[in-house]
Amino acid sequence: MTDAEHPLLILGTRTFAEEVADLASAIPGLHVAGFVENLDKDRCTQPLRGLPVFWIDDIDHLLPTHRAVCALSTTFRSRFIRQAEEIGLLFTSLIHPSAVISAQTEIGIGAVIGAGSVIGAHSHLSPHVVVNRGALIGHHTAIGSFCSIQPGANVAGACSIGEAVYIGMGAIIIDHIHIGAHAVVGAGAVVTKDVPERVQVIGLPARIVKDNIDGR
C-alpha cells in the first residue's frame, strides 16, 4: 500500500503527527520529508522532530514528487484532506509492518494502520481511515471514509460503519451492527444495537447521550 518511491509529507503538526512519523520510520525505504500546517503559519518557523514544517500554500513545488497522509486523529481531518486535494497533492497509505491484514481486504488510499492492528477477511476500508495501535476489525466489515478507530477498539464482523465515525479507545462493537455517519462511540463503550447518525454513545450497553453532532 505504501509508495516508498516518493518522499512523504505528513499533514498535521500535533502529537499524532509525530506518532505517524514514527510509524512511517518503521516502513523500509520510506522517507519522511516533513510536516504540513494549514491553520497556524507560526508553526512553520521551527522544525518538528528535526523535519521542516511547510505551509499548505507553499508546497506547489513538492506536488509532482511527494505523497501525503493526514495525521489528525479527529474525523474533521476531511477538511484538511480536501484542501490538500484541491491543490493537487496525492495521497498514499501507511501500514505498520506489525499490522495483520487479510489479503482479501481492501484498504482505501490515505489510510493509516497502526502497530499491532488486525483486520479480518473480506472487509473494506474507505479512503483516509485511521486504525490506531492494537485496534481490531472483523471480517466482512465496511468502514467509511475519514473514520477514526482508536487504540484497542474492537469492531466485530459484518459491521457497517458510516463516514467520519469516531470509535474511542477500547470500545467494543458487536457483530452485525450499523453505526451512522458522524457518530461518536465513547471510550470503553459496548455497542449492542445500531447507532443512528450524528449521536454520541457511551457506557455498557452504549446509550445515546448527545445528538446533532458532527463527529469528533
Query: Which residue ranges in the chain fall short of pLDDT 50?
Result: 1
CA nearest to 68, candidates 106, 29, 113, 33: 33
Residue-level pLDDT at 55: 98
| CATH number of 8-92, picked from 3.40.50.20, 1.20.1730.10, 3.10.20.310, 3.30.70.1560 | 3.40.50.20
Residue-level pLDDT at 165: 98
CATH topology of domain 95-208: UDP N-Acetylglucosamine Acyltransferase; domain 1 (2.160.10)
Residue-level pLDDT at 215: 87
Hey, what amino acid is at 168? Answer: G
Label each residue of 151-207 as H, E or C: CCCEECCCCEECCCCEECCCCEECCCCEECCCCEECCCCEECCCECCCEEEECCCCE
Residue-level pLDDT at 209: 98
Residues known to be catalytic: 139
Give me the residue spans of the domains in the chain. 8-92, 95-208
